[in-house]
Structure 1
Amino acid sequence: MTDLTGRIAVVTGAASGIGAAIATQLADAGASVALVARRQDRLDDLAGKLGPRTIGVSLDVTSQTSVDAGVRQIHERLGRPDLVVNAAGVMLAAPIEDGRLDDWTRMIDTNVTGVLRLVQAFTPDLISAAGDGRTADLVNISSIGAHVVFPGYAVYGATKAALTQLSTSLRADFAPYDVRVTNVEPGLTDTELATHLDSSGQDLIASMNEQIGPLAAEDIADVVTFAVSRRREVNLRQIIALPTRQA
């Protein structure tokens, strides 16, 4: 049931964390995978480990020029994708009273507009794949922060709430074409996101990890791989994955 042989996947945020874990599991299941992120050296290293059906494509989701160039490269080297996973994201502690407009903009550009750039780029491919009778999937990695309030993270939570709502609306738009949309909301997970925080933020995450026990990135990859490997008539539309002590 997890044989993805013949499928062509694009995974953003594939240089580390959840994105890298998802890309790895999709490749292990037989898919050809375009590893997408900004850090080419990390992408090349992971592609070398995963084999000839994977390629690393340096791409910045906040730049339309970069996205256009990356998409052309993916089409030329792998073909037209039938599976797109938006796992790129950034989490910054940016309290409203601090007025950190640059941080707010960075999160919006990456977590929301960046996703829209990839959706726009690959919508024709997904619709075409489904029209040919193949399985076609769009997977967005949101966050439990879309529902749960974390003081100091209002804008981050807002971007993830926007992504969850976007997934719901896109599902309605894509359903007539038989393209599935899955929104995944991880809880506390051991990734590089915490390294973007200041010392107090990192201390908070460390304390939560100690008290709750985080999920591994591979746990989220398991969820995604399971969802996209169901028969094409089944859409697992909304998945919340939490550590047991956070549930």
Structure 2
Amino acid sequence: MTYDLTNRTAVVTGAASGIGAEIALVLARSGARVALLSRRADRLADLADKITAEGGQALAVAADVTGDLSGAVAAIHTAYGRVDLVVNNAGVMLANPITAGRADEWQRMIDTNITGVLNVTNAFTPDLTSTAAEGGTADLVNISSIGAHLTFPNFAVYTATKAAVTHLSANLRSEFGPLNVRVTNVEPGLTESELASHVDNAEVINELTTWFEAMGRLTAAEVADVVAYTTSRARHVNLRQIMVLPTTQI
């Protein structure tokens, strides 16, 4: 489905694949200008080409959300001007027992899943607040996970980072809400994406496969549809927190 996001300017992180790519597609199909952020420039270029071939507007910006984003912000402003819709989607899911002592994985998840969200939010806060101050619609959407509320063996650090995103979103709303900037926290359940491909533990991979077979999964496009629906609501309507699950996932 498509929605009315005409004249909106969006930034989507982690746009090179999976949920991020589908969010970018549905936002563009709904009329938004979309800046695509990811480290994988080649994939971004392909996605931008696809969007423009469909008649949409897309800008590929190779950037690492864990680092300096000033160049990316400048490129977006030059191409599209002020941003009024930010989707923090970039994330990584790694899984091993704590006893494995995989500090490399812990740091990577903390850097991407938490610090990345903070960096991107900080980079575009002036855009969002000034848009809202002038009477426009401004949205910050954070993609968390149902794992923020559940416990899974071997996923302790991943779920902890997502719990941080969920709690951060609630707190950001207490600051941004009075400024008329909407904050939405989206928590998908089992979803088709590349996240599982990052896992290097065979036992955990088998466990994930079992979950998918038992409970099914959402498509990335179905999660993207939730984001587009949410951000297309009337300016005074904020869908604050959304859990989206396969019907059979409990």
TM-score, scaled relative to structure 1: 0.97
Q: Residue 9 of structure 1 aligns to which amino acid in structure 2?
A: A
> How far did 1:175 drift?
1.0
Equivalent residue for 1:240? 243
Equivalent residue for 1:32? 33
5+ residue gaps, structure 2, are: none
Equivalent residue for 2:61? 57
> How far did 1:202 drift?
2.2
CA contact (8 A) 2:96 2:204 kept: no
> How far did 1:96 drift?
1.2
Matches within 5 A, 1:150-165: 150-165=152-167
Equivalent residue for 1:225? 228
Greater CA deviation, 197-206 or 90-99? Answer: 197-206
* Aligned with residue 174 of structure 1, among 170, 173, 176: 176
Residue aligned with 1:190, SS: coil
Equivalent residue for 1:96? 98
Alpha-carbon deviations, 1:37-57, whole Å to 9, x = none? Answer: 010000000000101610110
Equivalent residue for 1:141? 143
Residue aligned with 1:88, SS: coil
Aligned mates of 1:14, 1:95 — CA distance in 2: 29
Greater CA deviation, 134-143 or 94-103? Answer: 94-103
Aligned mates of 1:117, 1:180 — CA distance in 2: 18
CA contact (8 A) 1:94 1:155 kept: no
Whether 2:205 is the aligned partner of 1:202: answer: yes
Aligned mates of 1:117, 1:183 — CA distance in 2: 17
Aligned mates of 2:191, 2:205 — CA distance in 1: 13
Equivalent residue for 2:24? 23
> How far did 1:62 drift?
1.3
May I ask how many residue pairs the two structures share in their alignment?
245
> How far did 1:201 drift?
2.4
5+ residue gaps, structure 1, are: none
CA root-mean-square deviation: 1.0
Aligned mates of 2:236, 2:82 — CA distance in 1: 21
CA contact (8 A) 1:194 1:201 kept: no
What percentage of aligned pairs have identical amino acids? 60
Q: Residue 245 of structure 1 aligns to which amino acid in structure 2?
A: T
Q: Residue 5 of structure 2 aligns to which amino acid in structure 1?
A: L
Aligned mates of 1:46, 1:101 — CA distance in 2: 33
Residue aligned with 2:61, SS: strand
CA contact (8 A) 2:9 2:80 kept: yes
> How far did 1:168 drift?
0.2
Aligned mates of 1:180, 1:94 — CA distance in 2: 35
Aligned mates of 2:214, 2:233 — CA distance in 1: 35
Q: Residue 233 of structure 1 aligns to which amino acid in structure 2?
A: H
Aligned mates of 2:96, 2:13 — CA distance in 1: 24
Residue aligned with 1:189, SS: coil
Q: Residue 37 of structure 1 aligns to which amino acid in structure 2?
A: S
Residue aligned with 1:106, SS: helix
TM-score, scaled relative to structure 2: 0.96
Q: Residue 30 of structure 1 aligns to which amino acid in structure 2?
A: G
> How far did 1:205 drift?
1.6
Aligned mates of 2:213, 2:181 — CA distance in 1: 40
> How far did 1:209 drift?
1.2
Alpha-carbon deviations, 1:124-144, whole Å to 9, x = none? Answer: 000011111110000000000
